[in-house]
Amino acid sequence: MNKILDYLRALFQLTFPSLCAACKQVLALQESCICSSCIFKLPYTNFHQISSNPLEKIFWGRLKIEEIYSLLYFEKASKTQELMHNLKYRGEQDVGVKLAQILCDKFKEAKRSIPYEAIVCVPLHKQKLKLRSYNQCTRFSQELSKQWKLPFYSEIIIRTQNNSSQTKKSRLSRWENVEQIFCLKNGEKIKEKHVLLIDDILTTGATLEACGKEILLVEGTKLSILTMACTV
Ligand SMILES: [Zn+2]
C-alpha cells in the first residue's frame, strides 16, 4: 500500500512539480516548500548562539525587551526576499510553517530554553486582512505554538489604522506613521505572562515598538520579539 502511495505521489510530482519557494528548482519527493540546498545556504543570523545581538540596540531606551531574535538576514534580490515575497503576496503560507520548523530545529540543536508563555503576532488592519485574506505571520506563529506548546492569541492587539506601506518612507516618517495604530483587547489573557511578539521583517522596529508597548500595558507582562528576517 505504501509503495502505491509513493508511486502516486511521484506521479503527481512529475505532473505538477512543486517548486522551491526560494530558488524555484523542482523539489525532490522528500522535500517540502524549500529545497535542502536552500535550507543549507539561507543567510541565517545565528543570533541564537550569542548572548547579546545587534538587534537589541534598536530598542534601547524605547522598549523594554527580554530577548530578541531574527532567523534570517534580509537583503534585496536575495533568497530571503523571494521567500518573504512569496509568503506575503503570493499566498505561499507554507513558507511561514517551514521557517518556523527550521527555527525550532535551530533552537533545539542549540539547547536553547523557551521562556515564553504566550505568542502574539503583529496584526493587520481588517481592510488589509480582507484584501490579502491572511496575515503572513499567522501560520508561522501557529507552528511555533504547536511545537513549543504555547497558546497563540490572534486577537489581543487590534490594528486601528490602516497605515500605508512602510517601505518607501523615510525613517522619521515611519516612526510618526505607526504611533498609536494599535489598541489592546482581551489583555487579561496575557496578564503576568512572558509574551513572544512575532512579525515578518524587522526594519526600523517602529511597528514592533508600537505593538510591544500595548502588550507591556498589561499587568505583569514581559516581552520578547521574534521575526523571520531582519535588515540589520
Ligand atoms: Zn531552493
Distance (Å, whole) CA 211 – CA 85: 23
At residue 170, the pLDDT reads 56
Buried b (16+ CB within 10 A) or exposed e, 133-156: eebbbbbbbbbbbebeebebbeeb
**Band of pLDDT at residue 102, cut at 50, 70 and 90:** very high
At residue 12, the pLDDT reads 67
207 pLDDT above the threshold of 90: yes
**Band of pLDDT at residue 186, cut at 50, 70 and 90:** confident
At residue 7, the pLDDT reads 76
Q: Tell me if 139 sits within 8 A of 216, measured CB to CB.
A: no
At residue 1, the pLDDT reads 64
At residue 38, the pLDDT reads 97
Q: Tell me if 23 sits within 8 A of 37, measured CB to CB.
A: yes
At residue 94, the pLDDT reads 96
Q: In degrees rounded to 5, what are phi and psi of residue 23?
A: -125, -5
Distance 21 CA to ligand 1 centre (A): 7
Position with higher pLDDT, 172 vs 204: 204
At residue 16, the pLDDT reads 73
Q: Tell me if 140 sits within 8 A of 100, measured CB to CB.
A: yes
Tens-digit pLDDT profile for residues 26-71: 999 889 999 999 999 999 999 988 878 999 999 999 999 999 999 9
Distance 52 CA to ligand 1 centre (A): 31
Q: In degrees rounded to 5, what are phi and psi of residue 171?
A: -60, -45
177 pLDDT above the threshold of 60: no
Distance 112 CA to ligand 1 centre (A): 27
Tell how strand 182-184 and strand 157-159 pair up.
antiparallel
Distance 148 CA to ligand 1 centre (A): 27
Distance 24 CA to ligand 1 centre (A): 6
Tens-digit pLDDT profile for residues 115-131: 999 999 999 999 999 98
Distance 208 CA to ligand 1 centre (A): 30
The residue among 180, 169, 179 whose CA lies nearest residue 203 is: 169
At residue 171, the pLDDT reads 56
Q: Which residues fall inside 5 Å of ion ligand 1, going by CB?
A: 20, 22-23, 35, 38
The residue among 91, 20, 35, 22 whose CA lies nearest residue 229 is: 22
Distance 41 CA to ligand 1 centre (A): 9
Grid cell digits, residue 89: 503576496
Residues shown for the chain: 232
The dihedral sign for the CA sequence 174, 116, 155, 69: positive
Distance 92 CA to ligand 1 centre (A): 14
**Band of pLDDT at residue 173, cut at 50, 70 and 90:** low
At residue 50, the pLDDT reads 80
Distance 72 CA to ligand 1 centre (A): 15
164 pLDDT above the threshold of 80: no
Position with higher pLDDT, 57 vs 173: 57
The four Cα atoms 43, 46, 48, 50 give a dihedral, to 10 degrees, of -150
Distance 37 CA to ligand 1 centre (A): 6
Distance 79 CA to ligand 1 centre (A): 8
Domains and CATH numbers, the chain: 1-41 (no CATH), 42-230 (3.40.50)
Calculate the alpha carbon distances from 192 to 6, 118, 141, 158, 188 in Å: 49, 10, 20, 20, 9
Q: What angle do CA 74, 78, 81 make, to 5 degrees?
A: 60
Distance 197 CA to ligand 1 centre (A): 28
Task: Please classify residue 73 by burial: count the beta carbons closer than 10 Å to its beta carbon, then call 0-12 exposed, 13-18 middle and 19+ buried.
Answer: middle
At residue 52, the pLDDT reads 83
